[in-house]
């Protein structure tokens, strides 16, 4: 059986235009009856006599048109650098099918940036905030020593530097690599604090970040932070979840790197912050009604370098209404609305998501148990009794922590029945 004809050629092009193209790429353009690309890329081919389609607006409609045109004529699509590296290539192949698309890549902007900076990039993490949120960027950077970022106008190198400094990640050197391959190419090496003040960065850039602290070590995979790492409320207003309980609770939540998490009754934010560390590509929402707790959640997130925690002031369940559907919900405090919060959590959880509730009092434990059993859900329940060694003169003695009951259920794929 003959292979399908590849009527669409996807050509990578740099900021030097036609000068950087191979003869194979030039041939693909010359054979094409239709040339597709951004205005900047199309301008490199003023001599092209066929139909031109500018990539602007919705890509779906343009690719539908390309698919129709490719049935009886050659189509060439121009894209920056390597089209399959954070580029349009994935969308083109998804619409047309890999057997129908030929890819002729150029060196990616990342490759050019490291070459200009004179840095090995075999051990670098390659990220993009182009058209994406900055949420969680600093959280991800906490585990990295060398990074390159594709940026955009809104998420510019100076803004990234300012966010890193705000969350305590200041010990980096930056290389801002602008208009790579073009006649006005510029590469600047700057301390992060200086980069945050720069105002003349071209939108076409790659940002390289390298740590300056040679003694730096990546943080542990499991945070296991002592309570003393968090600023806390006064004892009269509530206690912080102890780290041993936090470890078991987070394990029961079955978090993934991109999980959306609700921490209801967040207190000082210890569960929310450690959940965000374990899910750096997701978002964690810390819901807290007490103004002092709201301020502490925000301060603790900044102090611990976690920028994907969103603190939501308000009382659950009403405060949950506009939040995105969660993969995991933790209830640490309910202000007397446990049953209503459980109802909302079960209704909003994605199939297979986890609801975890910690109960200290017998009354709370009974309320949680009845709320779940009344909906035909049988929870996993763990009674945790932990004692820590504490100094006593020249000796150590055990001091018991408050017993905690941890309730955990998996959200079913079918609707949860009404309470009986």
Within a domain: 221: no
Tokens of 190: 């700057």
Element (H, E) at 248: helix 243-252
pTM of the model: 0.90
The answer to whether 327 and 260 are in contact (CB under 8 A) is yes
The answer as to whether 114 is a domain residue is yes
Burial of 145 (0-12, 13-18, 19+ CB in 10 A): middle
Does residue 406 share a domain with residue 275? yes
- CA-to-CA distance for 198 and 201, rounded, in angstroms? 7
Asked whether residue 203 falls in the same domain as residue 345, the answer is no
Within a domain: residue 216? Answer: no
Tell me if 96 sits within 8 A of 67, measured CB to CB: yes
Closest CA to 231 of 335, 139, 315, 301: 301
Last residue of a domain, one of 80, 106, 132: 106
SS3 content of the chain, % helix, strand, coil (to 5): 30, 25, 45
118 and 101 inside one domain: no
Residues 397 and 248 in one domain: yes
Q: Are 248 and 394 within one domain?
A: yes
Task: Residue 73: give its domain's CATH number.
Answer: 3.40.1010.10
Q: Tell me if 3 is assigned to some domain.
A: no
Domain region containing 367: 227-410
Are 372 and 260 contained in the same domain? Answer: yes
We report the CATH number of the domain holding residue 313 as 3.40.50.150
Cα dihedral 35, 36, 37, 38 in deg (nearest 10):
100
What are the pLDDT tens digits along the chain (420 aa)?
344 457 899 999 999 999 999 999 999 999 999 999 999 999 999 999 999 999 987 899 999 999 999 999 999 999 999 999 999 999 999 999 999 999 999 999 999 999 999 999 999 999 999 999 999 999 999 999 999 999 999 999 999 999 999 999 999 999 999 999 989 999 999 999 999 999 999 999 999 999 999 999 999 999 999 999 998 876 655 579 999 999 999 999 999 999 999 999 999 999 999 999 999 999 999 999 999 999 999 999 999 999 999 999 999 999 999 999 999 999 999 999 999 999 999 999 999 999 999 999 999 999 999 999 999 999 999 999 999 999 999 999 999 999 999 999 999 876 666 666
- For residues 248 and 313, the answer to whether their CB atoms sit within 8 Å is no
My answer on whether 405 and 284 are in the same domain is yes
Q: How many domains does the chain have?
A: 3
248 and 391 share a domain? yes
Last residue of a domain, one of 55, 82, 106: 106
Whether residue 2 is contained in a domain is answered as no
316-338 as b/e: b if 16+ CB within 10 A: bbebbeebeebbbbbbbbbeebb
Q: Are residues 120 and 98 in the same domain?
A: no
320/274 Cα distance (integer angstroms) = 20
The residue among 48, 77, 106 that closes a domain is 106
Q: Decide if 189 is inside a domain.
A: yes
The pairing of beta strand 51-54 with beta strand 34-37: parallel
Distance (Å, rounded) from C-alpha 327 to C-alpha 39? 41
Cα dihedral across residues 154, 155, 158, 164: positive or negative: positive
Q: Take residue 110 and report the two structure tokens written for it.
A: 């990342």
Kindly state whether residue 1 falls inside one of the protein's structural domains. no
Whether residues 175 and 268 share a domain: the answer is: no
**Same domain, yes or no, for 56 and 129?**
no
């Amino acid at each position: 059986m003959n292979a399908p004809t590849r009527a669409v050629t996807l050509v990578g092009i740099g900021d030097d235009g036609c000068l950087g193209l191979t003869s194979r790429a030039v041939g693909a353009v010359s054979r094409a009856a239709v040339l597709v690309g951004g205005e900047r890329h199309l301008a490199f081919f003023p001599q092209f006599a066929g139909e031109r389609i500018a990539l602007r607006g919705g890509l779906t409609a343009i690719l539908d048109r390309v698919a129709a045109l490719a049935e009886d004529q050659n189509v060439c699509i121009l894209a920056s650098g390597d089209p399959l590296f954070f580029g349009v290539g994935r969308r083109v192949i998804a619409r047309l099918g890999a057997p129908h698309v030929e890819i002729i890549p150029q060196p990616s902007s990342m490759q050019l940036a490291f070459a200009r900076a004179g840095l090995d990039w075999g051990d670098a993490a390659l990220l993009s905030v182009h058209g994406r949120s900055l949420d969680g960027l600093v959280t991800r950077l906490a585990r990295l020593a060398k990074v390159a970022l594709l940026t955009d106008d809104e998420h510019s190198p100076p803004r990234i530097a300012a966010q890193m400094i705000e969350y305590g990640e200041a010990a980096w050197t930056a290389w801002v690599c602008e208009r790579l391959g073009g006649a006005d190419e510029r590469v600047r090496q700057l301390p992060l604090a200086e980069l945050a003040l720069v105002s003349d960065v071209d939108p076409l850039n790659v940002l390289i970040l390298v740590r300056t602290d040679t003694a730096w070590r990546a943080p542990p995979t499991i945070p296991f932070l002592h309570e003393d790492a968090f600023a806390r409320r006064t004892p009269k207003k509530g206690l912080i979840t102890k780290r041993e309980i936090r470890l078991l609770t987070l394990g029961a939540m079955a978090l993934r790197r991109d999980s959306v998490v609700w921490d209801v009754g967040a207190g000082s934010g210890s569960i929310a912050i450690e959940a965000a560390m374990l899910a750096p590509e997701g978002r964690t929402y810390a819901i807290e009604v007490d103004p002092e707790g709201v301020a502490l959640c925000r301060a603790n997130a900044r102090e611990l370098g976690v920028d994907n925690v969103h603190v939501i002031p308000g009382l659950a369940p009403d405060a949950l209404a506009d939040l995105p559907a969660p993969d995991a919900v933790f209830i640490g405090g309910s202000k007397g609305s446990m049953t209503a919060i459980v109802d909302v959590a079960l209704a909003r959880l994605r199939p297979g998501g986890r609801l975890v509730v910690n109960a200290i009092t017998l009354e709370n434990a009974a309320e949680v148990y009845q709320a779940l059993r009344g909906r035909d859900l049988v929870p996993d329940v763990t009674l945790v009794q932990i004692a820590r060694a504490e100094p006593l003169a020249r000796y150590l003695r055990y001091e018991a922590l408050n017993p905690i009951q941890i309730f955990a259920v998996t959200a079913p794929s079918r609707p949860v029945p009404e309470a009986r």
